[in-house]
Structure 1
């Protein structure tokens, strides 16, 4: 009987050890990884865009985004490609991402110096608080 109890305790301890050592890749933060490294790995899509309280995510349905290390970004919608630029930098102790697709609608609405509020290897959540008091915009990019 003591042998069964001892084996049960050992099995419980081992299973607890293995469970507690697992790592959830989707929630691990890549805040120490430079933004330039994260965005240039793979292709991205917009999974959420909120413009001062209005959900405008559907305006970006079908778009994919490819970032290059040279600061270029392509927005691809079917056979149409819109080229733009991007840069990441720190401003007022905030990590930021700036996108510029010129005047092409709806991509022109992304021309903001976005504050990075969350960054992992597969998701980047961004925020822009308007200086003129017109609201806060949110943008989420997820890697395909």
Structure 2
């Protein structure tokens, strides 16, 4: 009798496990181009300031005080504080490379920023993972493959 109950229990558990289906509406199952377009549209929707930049535990937010960042639809990026203008590039791409898979974000996309100079702006150059986004905020993270340090960058919409 005990073997029959045990067998029936195992069959029931197996039946329940195989009858469950996954929900394909999960964000990770969506077409990445949809999220790429959503993030791109968000970035170009106005001007932004850096409310936080933490470089491997060091708060470097003050390096960008007074700068307004404009992400242009042509891929150009402009930071301006009224007297100094710094130019760079940006893009949002599919996160299909293995160089930055250390952070498991809900979005399978990268927010790429490239500045060649000055040095404090060059620090922003990376393929950032998106932690979260809203109509007024974009939070990014990068885990360095070299030293394992974690950088975070947050843009707030003006």
Band the TM-score falls in, shorter-chain normalisation: 0.7 to 0.9
| Structure 1 stretches of at least 4 aligned residues deviating more than 4 Å after TM superposition | none
1:54 aligns with 2:65: no
Aligned to 1:14: none
Q: How big is the shift at 1:128?
A: 0.2
> Which of 87, 99, 102 in structure 2 is aligned with 1:83?
87
CA distance in 1, matches of 2:130, 2:75: 17
Q: TM-score if structure 2 supplies the norm length?
A: 0.68
Shift of 1:80: 1.3
2:118 match: secondary structure:
coil
Alignment RMSD, CA only?
Answer: 1.6
Runs of at least 5 residues in structure 1 that lack an aligned partner in the other structure: 1-30
Q: Which has the higher strand share?
A: 1
Aligned partner of 2:130 in structure 1 is 116
**Counterpart residue number, 1:39:** 43
Q: How does 1:9-28 map to 2 (within 5 A)?
A: none
> Counterparts in 2 of 1:62-77, with a 5 A limit?
62-77=66-81
3-state SS, counterpart of residue 132 of structure 1? coil
* Structure 2 unaligned spans of 5+: 1-33, 97-106
1:140 paired residue number = 154
TM-score, normalization by structure 1: 0.74
Question: Paired residues, what number?
Answer: 114
